Structure 1
């Protein structure tokens, strides 16, 4: 589904907080003017903590339904992750339940971008959640492409995650 056909969708990239690992750090917004996207900063969060944060914003961790959406999320991540080399991974809203992968927003799984040999549940570590590679990884994991997906343990803390929500429709009224 092309982004131009989804005007009611807004995506938030929740980003790096100036104090790494500080649970009390303040979250703030960084606007981005293309296609209703907007960035926010936050602290390290597990998958469930990130999903709760998105739900509090009236959304969910982002579901990705096309190469175009995947590229947009990657580009958003890449822009702001250049401020730090600490982390090049971003939570997205895909989670395994039993043998099935599901988006947290309940939309159908109609697109994937798994990295080679993924998902693999490496060493049976309960890798039931998904991160997107959003940085230069070739130095430690050769043949891994940017913006491809990896299964990872849901309790891992990520500095970055993407929320996706419907825009609020504001009704005007006569005064």
Structure 2
């Protein structure tokens, strides 16, 4: 009877996507486990490659994963590039590489995590954004009516329930 119970529990855990071996760098997703060392699919745009990192991360973790893959969170320097990233994100909220962590808690200047300059490109902030001096990290939301607008939020907190996933995925960018 005990063996049947263990078998039933194992089937239930598998069906809901629970991973039994998280210590070996596995990330749990519904009905499957995905090795974090798998290389994402890179898509070319201009002189760069981009990838949707389908792991729920806070911005700092997303940047670390992108660096491990040879890039950084995406820096966006034109409307065309913003439109491309907007399409690549699918129906997901995603971190991009802009933040003002160098000056936390101050109405500071946004910078890119890859060190590239912040251009004269008109930033497509969502209505009432950027919002507060403590919301230092930038994400592109999954709003149905979104055209790639940016939002600022706390770097290490789950997004409000209206956005998914929470925490968001990340968009990585690296040179060709």
TM-score range, shorter-chain basis? 0.5 to 0.7
Rg larger in structure: 2
Contact map agreement 2:53 2:170 (CA 8 A) in 1: no
Q: 1:60 to 1:41 in 2, by over 3 A?
A: closer
Task: Tell me how many residue pairs correspond in the alignment.
Answer: 131
Match of 1:171 in 2: none
Match of 1:152 in 2: 153
Give matches, 1:95-174, under 5 Å: 95-96=99-100, 97-98=102-103, 99-110=108-119, 111=121, 112-121=123-132, 126-136=134-144, 145-156=146-157, 158-167=167-176
Q: 1:114 to 1:156 in 2, by over 3 A?
A: same
Q: 1:67 to 1:42 in 2, by over 3 A?
A: same
Give matches, 1:29-68, under 5 Å: 29-30=40-41, 32=43, 37=49, 39-68=51-80
> How far off is 1:66 after superposition?
0.2
Structure 2 residue runs of 5 or longer lacking an equivalent are 1-26, 159-166
Q: 1:45 to 1:105 in 2, by over 3 A?
A: same
RMSD: 2.6
2:75 and 2:87 mapped to 1: Cα distance?
16
Structure 1 residue runs of 5 or longer lacking an equivalent are 1-16, 82-87, 139-144, 168-175
> How far off is 1:159 after superposition?
3.6
> How far off is 1:117 after superposition?
1.4
> How far off is 1:37 after superposition?
4.1
TM-score, normalisation: structure 2: 0.64
1:93 and 1:47 mapped to 2: Cα distance?
8
3-state SS, counterpart of residue 61 of structure 2: helix
Q: 1:32 to 1:18 in 2, by over 3 A?
A: farther
Match of 1:69 in 2: 81
1:31 and 1:53 mapped to 2: Cα distance?
14
Q: 1:103 to 1:34 in 2, by over 3 A?
A: closer
2:28 and 2:58 mapped to 1: Cα distance?
18
